[in-house]
Structure formats: structure tokens, C-alpha cells
Structure 1
Amino acid sequence: MMETRRPDVPQSQIRDAIAAHDYGKVVRLARRAQGLTQQQLGARAGYSAATISRLETGHQALDDITTLRILIRVLGIPAPWLGLSPLPSSEDPPTDQSVHSLFVIASVSVEPHLAGEDDAVKRRRFLAGLTGLTGAALLAGTQEAADAATMARRIESLLTSDTTGTSASVTELRAALWSARATFDACSYDDLSVILGRITATAQATIAQAGGQERDQANACLADAYMLASELAVKLNQDGMAWVAADRALTTATFSGDPFAIAGASRAVAIAMRRQGRHEGAVTMLTRAALGLGAGTPEPQALQVYAALLCTAAYSCAQNGQRAQSLDLIGEAEQAAARLPESTSRGRLPTPANVAVYRVGIHTALGEPGVALDHSRGVNPHLLSTPERHARWCVDTARAWEQFGRRDRAVTALLAAERSAPQEIRRPSVSTLISGMRYGAGPVPSELHALANRNGLA
């Protein structure tokens, strides 16, 4: 497949649009510079193509902060370009070089086979520009995506190294974590495995030198970094390291006193427990954390975390064969997600669409692939706002089709996941699914052999 040539966009146009605060035009120029259609940008941001068109032309006001942050993330542009305060501590005004960087980097969510070695380096350099904390670590990465064993060694080093970092402000730490979360959401797991070591070392140094509220906030940042490390370890089937990282996240979150950090870390520990077969203990931990949030209030962050905890608890019950309890919990999660304001329901935590994806996995785990596929058909992919969530939906749907006896449809779903997030397909658990389908009884689609070869399973 040949890469579509990106249109040339004069640098002066985007500078003028920024100076005129014409943010719709900035979005349009940035989109065109990356070779995206309005439909493609909308799919990544969780909006329709018509909405993107209205935002670009000014027929719909581009003044909602959540929408602006989403567009900044999916386009990979500096926050001041859309009139927001930069997430990093400092960010120079656009120069010829910074504008040029936008036009030559690959989108963080890349099509398979379109991102060569040069694009991988450019992506790392662009991410490095987001925050000084991650720059050195990102540029130390290899040109090609690291394999699972290499990423696992990086997580192990993060957990065992006594490397001393340089302290930073809480604002800088939060900026680095924002970049790390965006990297996870883009399924750039190799980049993330490098970033996290730098962030944890910096957070530890900051905690050692800070006091009072700043120390509490730095502890919350460190807890968030450990949670991301645990999530990455789960992706790599490194369950032992996932539990260690989650436990550190919970300890550090407790030091911070932040109830949302504590709840999030509790969820990470529960996931690790579930993967070790401790389903009942995991559910107890999750429901206790959910009850402690006071989710009867309309606060969006509380509702999002509450829904996330219940989704995980529901899936844990399903894996343990507790059908009634699982369905009760996912039903409650759906109600919580439905209460979120639309402008705040497109984040990384459960939205109605993301909860619907959990339904697919739950019914597959319960041995009900037909019900799972019915729920999968009801998912609107345009509302799955990150490549990671879209790929998760595709993979869960593939598992349901495979269980239903339709290997051909399962392969189609896996190919869709590969187009959205190639590194998600290279996860060990997905490779196991591919191998099982390849050597199972019955005809094997030719596309499955090609997919296996691309995953190194020849």
C-alpha cells in the first residue's frame, strides 16, 4: 500500500490563523497537513464528519474546552494553537520549525505499513517536543517498534531501578503524564515503555524535594505513572509486574490523599488480582472503591471513575461465571455513564460507547457470543474516541465471532483492529488468539495467514 501524499500547506497560513484566533481554520489546516479527511478526524475525535465541518467553518462555535483538548490530542498540535494554556510548563510560539514538524510527522494513530522508520523517529521527536521530561527518553528509542520482551524489560527496569531523576514542577509532571496517556491511547506501547521510566524517576525526585500540597500532588502523579505501567504490563501479559506496579500505585495514591487516584489505583490492583484468578477479592475491592466515591453526586469525574470501577467488576464477575451479578454491575455502569454531560463524556474513562464495548467482552466471557455480537453491532465506532478503545472493540468482537464459529468474520474484525492500532494486534494475548484460529479445525482464511506472518507467527 502506498502512502497518500499529504498536501502542502503554507506555513504562513497556519501562523496567520493562530494570530487571528481562527481556531476552526487552524483545525482545518492541521487536518489537511496530516492528510486526514473530515470523516477520519471525526472518527478519531469521536465526532461526526458533519460536526468537524461545522467546527472548521465556524458554523458551530469552537469554544468548548473538552472539544479543544480532544482536537489538540488527536491532531498532535500545541495547545496555544487553539487558544488554550500549554500543558507543558513552557511552549514556544509557533516557528517555521514547529510548523514544519506538524506537517511532516505521522499521526500518532497510523495505518499499518504506512509508518516507516523515518516516521517512527519523527513521531518520537514530536512527542519529545511536548515536554522536556520525556524528550531524552523518547529519543533513546529504537527506530522500529520494540517487541514484547523488550518492553517488559523496560517495565522491570522502571520497577527495580534506583536511578535518580531531576525534580520538576507538578505542572510539568502533569504535562508529561498527559503525553504518556495520549501515547497509551494511541497504542504506541513501545514509546510508552520508554517514557514511563523517565516520568517515574522525575516524580520520585520531585516528591523528595517537595512539601505540603505540592508533595501530595506529586504523589498523585507518581501513582498515575505506576497505574499506566500496570496497564502496559497487562497488555504484555506480564501479570506479576502488573500487580507490583499497581500495588505501588495504590500505596503512592494513599500518600497523596486524592480519592480519584486511590480509586484508580484500586482498580489497577483489582485487575491484577483478577488475572491471577482472585476474582472475588477483585470484585470486593472494586465495589468498595466505587461506594467510596459518592457517585450519587453529578460530578463528572466521580461518575467516570465510578463507571470504570463497575465495568471492571462486571467483567471480573463474568470471568468467574457470576452472570447475574455481572449484568447488574454493567447495568449500573451504563446508568452512570448515561448521566455524564455530553461535553465531558468523550474522555479516556467509560462513556456510553465504551461501556457497550465492555458488554461484548462480558457476554463472550459468559459463553454467550450471540448476545455479545448483538451488543457489538450496537456500538457506534465514531464514539470510541481513541485507537486503543476502537481496537479493543474489534478484538473483543473477533473473540465473539471465533466463539460463534465464524472464523472468517473474526479475521475481518482483527484486520479492522490492525488498521486502527497495529501494536494492539501484536499483544501476546491477541497473538495467542490468532495462532489458535490458524491451527484450529476447519478452513483457514488466507488473510489469517498473512496476519500471522505480520505478527511474526510464521
Structure 2
Amino acid sequence: MSVYAMTAPPGLDLGALMRSRRGARRPKMTQEALAAALGYSKSWVCRVEGGQIVPQIETLLHIAAVLDIPPDELITVAHPPERDPVRDPQSPESSGMAPATVTAGDHELQEDAVRRRGFLTGAAGLGAVMVTGPATAAVRPSADPTDALEAGLFRPPTVGPVSLGQLDQALHRARADFRHARYQALGTELPVLLAAADATRDHLTGYAKERACALAAYAYSLAGELASKQHSEAVWVAADRALAAARASGQPAPLGEAARMLSVAMRRAGRHHQAADLLVHTDRQLADDSTEQARAVRAAMLLTCGYTVAHYGDRTAALNMVDEAETIGQRIVYGPGLEQVTIQATREQCASFRLSVFNKLGTPDEAVPVVRCANPNRFPTAERRARFHTDAARMWHQIGNDTRTFAALRAVEHEAPEEARRPSVKALTTDLLYSSTHLPGLREFAARTGVHG
């Protein structure tokens, strides 16, 4: 039986703390209300407050969030140090005296105690991000969302291992920030998430370790996405670590996402052929995997590869890859279970990549019908909608239509204000500022997005 679900020992004061915090709320929170907030029954809350059971770590963190209790305080009360034979001053281990006999159960208790301290450290470090969301995390404003990420990659914070459930929850929140283009919050959260992912996979063995490696790979791929958007060289570090973790996981989906992220770093460095080769090689590795997740990742890699080969002018290959991705995407039902895939090969997103390909090939006129037929509201996230409007702005800019370029840039800001502050978008704004065309509101837009003319 896990130490986190065992019957509570005499004297545990978890119930008293919970009752105190319930009573301190205005209006007072009843047991029924707490049970509803936690998704449990009233009788379950009664048993916890009566000292009959001790919830698992994940549930304790949920209780801490609902009752506004610091996670480390609640977990310490639930699993007090005096129960830990490694810390107990009365135990033979702490006094330097060897016990007369050491049974398998004693070893198990010691291992549980060590594991509990590790989970406590991790839970305290990740509490704000994983339980209450990014709004409670300590965010220090920065001109560049990758400042904290770069520091975290090379000087990671001290965070202990957490449960796989907690790690998955933290990753889910970080991914939501990316999809809503909340890059400042994401840049602040990622260092703690990455450190926890590394600590957790180092702490586990067997299949649990493989799952932790997969989550770490997704987290580092997400870090690479943020670094790439801000044109940060940290993309190389994040992508390399993502690929290493993905290979250790033995799972195809994180491998495909990591390879796609590394190819983006290679493409930005001008290594277009090498980036395309990496994607083609990884695609072959996943070709025999018939799971929907693997197909979704293959489609995402094909879209990225199509845009990549357009950089060296291979029009036929670029458009064929986008077409193939769309064919695969038509057989995929995107929803829960595929949220790890950053790029989804829906009809709209494939159209967005055709737009990108035509822009890169230098044939923006061919992209005009794509823009006019696309419905931006069908894109699943603010980040993808902003990306579409950014490519539309590039298209109109190449054509020489400043008015429509500016309209597309304003659409970017409307969908995701932080997208409008990205280096590539600011470059378009700067070009408009120094053009001969007078556009009402342009200078105000430039000032809001950090462009100074």
C-alpha cells in the first residue's frame, strides 16, 4: 500500500487544519461545498477531517488550492517529519545505532520516507503553477519572455520530483498558456516545470520513468517553441534536450514532436536541407505506427517539412507534403489525447501552411485565394489564429498593399497581444513605419507593440 493512501496515524492534525480554513472563509465553507469543489462525496471529506484517511499528494494539492493553504504546509501536516525514520531523532538510524533487525518492511518504510520528502520539495516548488495556475506564480515582467527560460535552462531551480499526475497537470497548464499566447507567463513557469520533469524522471524506474521522459520531452519541446518564437538561441538547447528525453521514453509521439522542434532550430540557422532530412528520417521511423497519435505527429512533421523545403525553392515537394498532411489529417479526430501535438493538420491549418509556403517561394499572389477562403475563427487556438494573420500580413506586405498589411497586423494584436510583440511581427511594423504610406493609428500600434520609430 502506498504511504500516500494509508490509514492516518493517531495525532495527525490534517483534519483540524482543514476545518480551521473552512471556517475562516466568508461565508463559511461547508463540508458539502468542499466536497463539491474537490469532486468527492461529503462522507469522504468527513473521513479525511476525522483522521481516517490521508489523501494522495495530488488531492492534497487540490485541497490546498481550494482552501488557500500553502501546499508545503498542508503536505507537512499530512505527512509529518516525526513519522520519517530518517529524520526521527528517536530512531536508531538518526542516533547512529543500527537496529537489531531490519526487515523488508523497514526498508520499504525508509524508501517511502525519502520519496515523500522528495515529493514534498517538488510540490512546494510547483504548487503555484500546477494547482492555482499561472496567475499566482511569481512573474517578474521582462521585455523578452525567454529571459527566465534561458536562465532556467543553464541554472535550473532546485525542485524535487513530483508525481506523474502533477507533472502532466503542470504541462497541461503550460501548454494552455502557449495556445493562448501568454508568453510572459509561460517563460516564467517553464524553468520550474523543466526542473521538476528532470527530477521526476531521474527519480523513477521502469515504465514510470518512460512516461516521465515523455512528459519531459513534451515540456522541452514547448520550451523550444517559445524560444523559436522569440528568435532565441536557447531553442537549440531545448530541442536537443527534448530529443534526448523522447528517445529515452521509447514512445513515437514525443519523438516526432522533438524532431520537429529540432528541425525548426536547424531551419532558423539556415540548415534547410539537414532540417528536412531529419524530418523525413523521423517520418519513416513512425510510418509503421498506426496509432492516431503517431499519425497526428507525422502530419505535423509533414507540414513543417513542407515549409522547410520551400526555403530552398522546392515548390513541388513543399506543396505535396502539405497535401499529404491534409490527407492524413482528414482521417484524424483531434481532441483529448492529441493535445500534445502543437500543429494539427486540419483543413484550416493546412491552408495556413500553404500560405506560408507561397510566401517563402516568393509567390504571394498565389496565396491571396487561400487567405480569402480561410475562416480564422476555425483555428483552434489564439496562437494559431495569430500565426495565420501574421502570414497574411507578410503576403500583403510582399504584394505592396500597406493598408491590408496593417489590418492583418491589427488582427494579430486582437487575437494575441503578445504575438504582436514577437521580433518577426515587429519587423513588419517597422517596415510600415518607414514606408511612405500614411496609415492612421500605425504609430500608436507601434508604440503598443514595442516598436519605436
Please, what TM-score do these two structures have when normalized by structure 2? Answer: 0.70
Q: Secondary structure at the match of 1:292?
A: helix
Aligned pairs for 1:42-121 (under 5 A) are 89-90=58-59, 91-92=62-63
| Residues 138/200 of structure 1: CA separation in 2 closer, same or farther (3 Å cut) | farther
Of residues 134, 146, 160 in structure 1, which corresponds to 2:154? 160
Aligned with residue 441 of structure 2, among 447, 451, 455? 447
- Residues 225 and 360 of structure 1: CA distance in aligned 2, closer, same or farther (over 3 Å): same
- Match for residue 241 of structure 1 among 213, 228, 234: 234
Of the three residues 311, 317, 324, the one matched with 2:309 is 317
Q: TM-score, normalized by length of structure 1?
A: 0.69
- 2:375 is matched with 380
Q: Return the letter of the residue paired with 2:310.
A: A
Counterpart of 2:343 in 1: which secondary structure?
coil
Over residues 247-296 of structure 1, what are the superposed CA-to-partner deviations in whole Å (9 max), with x where a residue is unaligned? 11101111111111111111111110000011011011111112221268
2:309 maps to a residue whose letter is C
Instruction: Give 1:382 shift.
Output: 2.3
Aligned 1:421-440 pairs, distance under 5 A: 421-440=416-435
Shift of residue 174, structure 1, vs aligned partner: 0.7
Which of 192, 198, 208 pairs up with 1:204?
198
Q: Is 2:132 aligned against 1:139?
A: no
Q: Which residue of 2 aligns with 1:280?
A: 273
> C-alpha distance in 2, partners of 1:313/1:241?
21
Cα displacement string for residues 342-391 of structure 1 (whole angstroms, at most 9, x for unaligned residues): 66799543122112111111111111112112112222222211100010
In structure 1, what is the Cα distance between the partners aligned to 2:373 and 2:338?
A: 18
Cα distance in 1 for partners of 2:215, 2:432 equals 41
Contact 2:309 2:318 in 1 (8 A): yes
Give the SS at the match of 1:340. Answer: coil
**Closer, same or farther: CA 258–282 of 1 in aligned 2, 3 Å:** same
Deviations 1:225-263 (A, max 9, x none): 11111111111111x210121011101111111111111
Is the 1:360–1:375 Cα contact (8 Å) retained in structure 2? yes
| Corresponding pairs, count | 346
What secondary structure sits across from 2:437 in the alignment?
coil
CA distance, structure 2, for counterparts of residue 174 and residue 380 of structure 1? 32
Residues 95 and 274 of structure 1, relative CA distance in 2, 3 Å threshold: closer
Name the stretch that deviates more: 88-97 or 215-224. 88-97
Q: From the superposition, tell whether residues 214 and 343 of structure 1 become closer, same or farther in structure 2 (CA, over 3 Å).
A: closer
SS of 2:158's partner is coil
Q: CA deviation at 1:183?
A: 0.4
Counterparts of residues 2-81 of structure 1 (less than 5 Å): none
Tell whether the 8 Å contact from 1:417 to 1:424 is kept in structure 2 after alignment.
Answer: yes
Question: Equivalent residues in 2 for 1:249-398 (5 A)?
Answer: 249-294=242-287, 297=290, 299-341=291-333, 348-350=342-344, 351-398=346-393
Distance across 1 between alignment mates of 2:286 and 2:321: 16
In 1, Cα distance between equivalents of 2:445 and 2:246? 41
Structure 1: how far apart are the matches of 2:379 and 2:197? Answer: 31
> Whole-Å Cα distance in 1 between the matches of residues 381 and 164 of structure 2?
26
Aligned ranges 1:153-232 → 2 under 5 Å: 153-232=147-226
Distance, in Å, in 1 between the alignment partners of 2:373 and 2:288 is 27
Q: Which amino acid aligns with 2:251?
A: D
C-alpha distance in 2 between matches for 1:230 and 1:152: 10
| Paired residues of 2:65 and 2:132 also in contact (CA < 8 A) | no
Percent identical residues: 33
The Cα RMSD (Å) is: 3.0
Q: What is the distance in 1 between the residues matched to 2:179 and 2:334?
A: 20
What is the deviation of 1:417? 1.1
The CA distance in 1 between the partners of 2:67 and 2:150, in whole Å, is 40
State the secondary structure of the residue aligned to 1:302. helix
Provide Cα deviations, 1:303-336, integer angstroms capped at 9, x if missing partner: 2111110010000011221111111111111111
Structure 1, gaps ≥5 residues long: 1-11, 20-77, 82-87, 99-126
SS of equivalent residue, structure 2 residue 58? coil
- Cα distance in 2, alignment partners of residues 171 and 380 from structure 1: 36
2:373 alignment partner AA:
G
Select the structure with the greater relative contact order (CA < 8 A; seq sep ≥ 6): 1
Going from structure 1 to structure 2, the CA distance change for 1:341 and 1:132 (only over 3 Å counts) comes to: closer
Q: Deviations over 1:61-110 (max 9, x none)?
A: xxxxxxxxxxxxxxxxx9969xxxxxx93334997999xxxxxxxxxxxx
- Structure number with greater Rg is 2
